[in-house]
Amino acid sequence: MKKLLVSILEGAIVGIAMGIIIVILDIEMTSTQVGILIGSAIIVTSFASSIGHLINTGKAPVFYEWVYNYDGYRIAVSAGLTEKLYINDVLVDEKKGISSKAELRSKLTTGDEVKAVITGGMAAKCELFIGNQLLQPTSTKTPYN
């Protein structure tokens, strides 16, 4: 996760450098346009870092991970460039691509339906349901911890 924070910092530096160039060249921009420019630089640099990780390792980076324990099952949900649902360390569902909402589904051997709903993009949140019961994660991993 330190790499993610480093890439965000790199993006901020690129964005600030672009802002300085705009001031030096006396290009007229509103503060909103400058903010959008700096924010875009942060996003592009972070995304490029993720793509570089994918190319170098063959694995998509995981930015978030939630682990749940339920009736002897270990259920894990991860989010990055792909969202994945694992039951007892076995991949049971996967969604590729970037979206603001992903829904993953499977069933336990007991027949109970498992549904994970991931929302929020960069500030991701996961809700895991067994049937209609909302579970709380036993552990979480984010870019910030």
Are both 68 and 106 inside the same structural domain? yes
Are both 38 and 74 inside the same structural domain? no
C-alpha distances (whole Å) from 134 to each of 113, 114, 130 are 12, 10, 7
Are both 51 and 70 inside the same structural domain? no
Q: Which of 57, 80, 101 is the last residue of a domain?
A: 57
Q: Over the stretch 22-60, which tens digit does the pLDDT of each residue have?
A: 666 666 767 777 677 666 666 666 555 555 555 555 555
pLDDT band at 73 (very low <50, low <70, confident <90, very high): very high
**Which residues contact residue 100 at a Cβ distance below 8 angstroms, ignoring those fewer than 6 apart?**
119, 120, 121
Are both 7 and 47 inside the same structural domain? yes
pLDDT band at 68 (very low <50, low <70, confident <90, very high): very high
Are both 35 and 22 inside the same structural domain? yes
Host domain of residue 41: 2-57
Beta bridge mates, 96:
82
DSSP letter assigned to residue 136: P
